[in-house]
Amino acid sequence: MVFVTLTLLLIPSRACDDSPTSIGSYRFPLAEQHGIDAERLEEAYISAERSDRVNSLLVERHGVLVAEAYFRGYGPDSLNTVWSVTKSFNSALIGIAIDQGYIESVDETIADYLGSAVPDLDPEKGSITLGNLLTMSSGLPWVEEGLDSEFPAWTASDDQLMYILDKPLVYTPGERFDYSDGAAHLASAVLSEATGMTAHAFARRHLFDPLGFEATEWWVDNRGYNFGGVGLGVRSRDMVKFGRLYLDGGVYDGRRVISSEWIDESTGPQIRTDPDDPDSSEYGYFWWIDGCSIHSCYRASGYSGQLIFVLPDLDLVAVITSDWSGDRNRAMANWYLAYVLIAYEVLPAVR
């Protein structure tokens, strides 16, 4: 791997003894207090700076932000387009809607909510449940990755909702995992129809404001639905807050935001990504569940290296964001670099 030296963004200086970052030196005085080897953590940040794609790297333990740095012109107030991390936020919103009675359960079907938006919805497709969407097992085919990805055609279509629903039902819903922006988008449409609000408006009221998010943005389709699987823009620090919300069982700053039952259910194994491979990753409700180095964890994962790692056994949240521009081969390399930085450089520093 070729490393290119980058200049670290100079954030307004703060006293070293009360700041998670000592700019330019990568000295993290709070790390040792929270059981993290400061020298090894500094090495991880040096690796991040030397890469030519990482935009931010933040580590929080025991509810304290112990390390934070930004690169390549990014800073604490920069909004990150987090791509498929959007799906995990979407999962949280579905859980809140169930908690508040807008949606009865994940067993509700899309016909229960999209009937007015799609009056001629095929009955078989209408039987797809919200749970099928959340576990990427709708039965509607989707090509997510590679040169044949249909993402460009979908986003450019005249009706993004019908682009998904016009697909043939090729599997029995619930039978097969097939990673799909289309499934996540249907979940967003269901949320909007159930609540009478866009996903973004619902999120601001019931998730973003309670967590103190200062700024967000979210792409919309041509019917006004927020894209369920992509297009959310959030700050890195707010990604940490979201991870902490989950780590603390749905409570943030003493306030119940999501039920602990939804946290457990959505981050627990719901489906295996390859039913023929017992060693394949497990998936929850728009959350990836797998080992992070030697630790159990779950994570929100976005195109080209946008990641939120939540590690309950370490009481730790780690966030990394990366540049997403360029071809898909480069994007995969970015994602792998981001994953390795957390799993094999940050986590080994934690005692």
Which residue(s) pair with 300 in the sheet?
Answer: 308
User: Cα-atom radius of gyration of the chain, to the nearest Å?
Assistant: 20
DSSP structure class, residue 344: I
Q: Considering the chain, what is the average pLDDT of its residues?
A: 91
Residue 1 clears pLDDT 60, i.e. is over it? no
DSSP structure class, residue 94: H
Return the number of other C-beta atoms located less than 10 Å from residue 33's C-beta: 13
pLDDT-derived band at 16 (thresholds 50, 70, 90) equals very low
Residue 280 clears pLDDT 90, i.e. is over it? no
Q: CA–CA separation, 26 vs 30, rounded Å?
A: 12
Task: Give the residue, 318 or 2, on which the prediction is more confident.
Answer: 318
Please spell the DSSP secondary structure of 292-315, one letter per residue: ETTEEEEEEEETTTEEEEEEGGGT
Task: Give the residue, 2 or 283, on which the prediction is more confident.
Answer: 283
**pLDDT single digits (tens) 63-114:** 999 999 999 999 999 999 999 999 999 999 999 999 999 999 999 999 999 9
Residue 277 clears pLDDT 90, i.e. is over it? no
Residue 132 in contact with residue 187, Cβ under 8 Å?
Answer: no
Residue 317 clears pLDDT 90, i.e. is over it? yes
Percent of the chain with pLDDT over 90: 84
- From residue 206, alpha-carbon distances to 10, 77, 250, 317, 339 in Å are 34, 22, 12, 22, 30
Q: CA–CA separation, 1 vs 54, rounded Å?
A: 14
CA atoms within 13 A of residue 274's CA, in its CB half-sphere: 6
**pLDDT single digits (tens) 49-59:** 999 899 999 99
Mean pLDDT, rounded, for 17-27: 53
Task: For residue 318, count CB atoms less than 10 angstroms from its CB and return exposed for 0-12, middle for 13-18, buried for 19 or more.
Answer: buried
Q: CA–CA separation, 46 vs 53, rounded Å?
A: 13
Instruction: Check residue 292 and give its pLDDT.
Output: 72
Instruction: Check residue 79 and give its pLDDT.
Output: 97
pLDDT-derived band at 24 (thresholds 50, 70, 90) equals low
Cα-based angle 304, 305, 311 (whole degrees, multiple of 5): 150
Please report the beta strands in 133-240, taking only residues with DSSP state E, as ranges in sequence order. Answer: 217-218, 232-234
Residue 242 clears pLDDT 80, i.e. is over it? yes
Among the residue ranges 103-107, 145-149, 185-189, 218-222, the one predicted with the least confidence is 145-149
Mean pLDDT, rounded, for 139-144: 96
Domain definitions of the chain by residue range: 80-338
80-338: CATH topology is Beta-lactamase (3.40.710)
Q: CA–CA separation, 272 vs 252, rounded Å?
A: 30
Mean pLDDT, rounded, for 209-223: 97
Neighbouring residues of 190: CB distance < 8 A, sequence distance ≥ 6:
94, 103, 108, 110, 113, 114, 130, 133
Residue 6 clears pLDDT 60, i.e. is over it? no
**pLDDT single digits (tens) 289-306:** 986 767 889 999 999 999
Residue 341 in contact with residue 75, Cβ under 8 Å?
Answer: no
Structure tokens, 104? 């009865």
Instruction: Check residue 13 and give its pLDDT.
Output: 28
pLDDT-derived band at 146 (thresholds 50, 70, 90) equals confident
Per-residue three-class SS string for 123-145? HHHHCCEHHHHHCCCCCCCCCCC
Instruction: Check residue 327 and give its pLDDT.
Output: 74
User: Buried (b) or exposed (e) across 143-160, using 16+ Cβ within 10 A?
Assistant: ebeeeeebbeebbebeeb
Is residue 283 classed as helix, strand or coil in its secondary structure?
Answer: strand
Helix (H) or strand (E) holding 18: none
Residue 37 in contact with residue 351, Cβ under 8 Å?
Answer: yes
Mean pLDDT, rounded, for 306-333: 91
- From residue 255, alpha-carbon distances to 11, 197, 211 in Å are 31, 23, 9
Name the nearest CA neighbour of 82 among 215, 292, 199, 239: 239
Cα–chain-centroid distance for residue 35?
Answer: 26
